[in-house]
Amino acid sequence: MISLDHIAVWSDNLYRTTIDLSRATGLGSADGGYFPGLGLGQKLLSLGDYVYIEVESIVDHRMIAERAPMALELERQSANGDCFAGLCLRSDNLDEIAEFARHRGIAPAENIAGGKVRMVPAQGSAPSVHAPDFWNSWRLGKPNIYYVPDLTNHSSLLPVQPGTGDVRGTGVISIEIGGTEPDLRAWLGDVVKPAELGIEIVYNGGPDGLYAVTFDSTDGPRTIRLNPITL
């Protein structure tokens, strides 16, 4: 089964963006750890119902100094402010990942460079098998799909750090994306229909990418609106 899993936000300052989002929504945040091979650090905000936002920025300055491709891309994308970088779906079935990869004409990516190191190792999940990789999906403003076989330790369940926010997300209501429904259907192929994702999808006809996410919470509906990724 395929459903929405997480949304990536790229920032030039991990802490500023997380604090801004927490203040705007009331949501608390958790430490998501970092990716040594990419130089990325993460903070997580749960939207409820096993969906979360991951705020990412470069925390390893060597990646910037060495002009690593990921660091360069994140620097470019966040030059004009925070942006929605990735719309990430999940499946608990490797056959669905393989089917989607075949549809996209690529092989599933087997890992994330350097893996992931967490502040609390026993918590959270780090899906590795996915298709396509971010370079061939996020940078096009399109969703990719991760293999998440078990939600028991899902990253959305990480306990929030005290004092970061008291509002609890209770589930995504809708997202606004660029393009049209036929565009998204063509991208996803037969692996899943947009209507089967269980959320309302608003198509604004603009360039591809995510523009807004609306979720319900213990303090009522909230909408987060940011720039889409620059194609």
- Straight-line distance from the first to the last Cα atom of the chain, in angstroms, rounded to the nearest whole number: 29
208 in a structural domain: no
Q: Which residue has the tokens 């991208």?
A: 187
pLDDT at residue 114 in the model: 57
pLDDT tens digits for 80-109? Answer: 999 999 999 999 999 999 999 999 999 999
128 in a structural domain: yes
Report the number of distinct structural domains present in the chain: 1
pLDDT tens digits for 21-46? Answer: 999 999 999 999 998 888 999 999 99
186 in a structural domain: no
154 in a structural domain: yes
CB atoms within 10 A of CB 123: 17
pLDDT at residue 25 in the model: 98
pLDDT at residue 117 in the model: 75
Average pLDDT for residues 224-231, to the nearest whole number? 96
Longest Cα separation, the chain: 46
Domain with 83 in it: 2-158
- At 68, give phi and psi (nearest 5°): -65, 145
Whether pLDDT at 123 is above 80? no
- At 189, give phi and psi (nearest 5°): 65, -145
Say which CATH number the domain at 123 has.
Answer: 3.10.180.10
d(CA 124, CA 143): 21
Average pLDDT for residues 192-210, to the nearest whole number? 97
pLDDT tens digits for 136-188? Answer: 999 999 999 999 999 998 999 999 999 999 999 999 999 999 999 999 999 99
Chain centroid to CA 189: 21
Would you state the structure tokens that stand for residue 54, as one six-digit string?
């991951």
Average pLDDT for residues 62-84, to the nearest whole number? 91
111 in a structural domain: yes
228 in a structural domain: no
Whether 142 contacts 208, CB under 8 Å: yes
Q: Which of 117, 127, 231, 105 is nearest to 179 (CA)?
A: 231
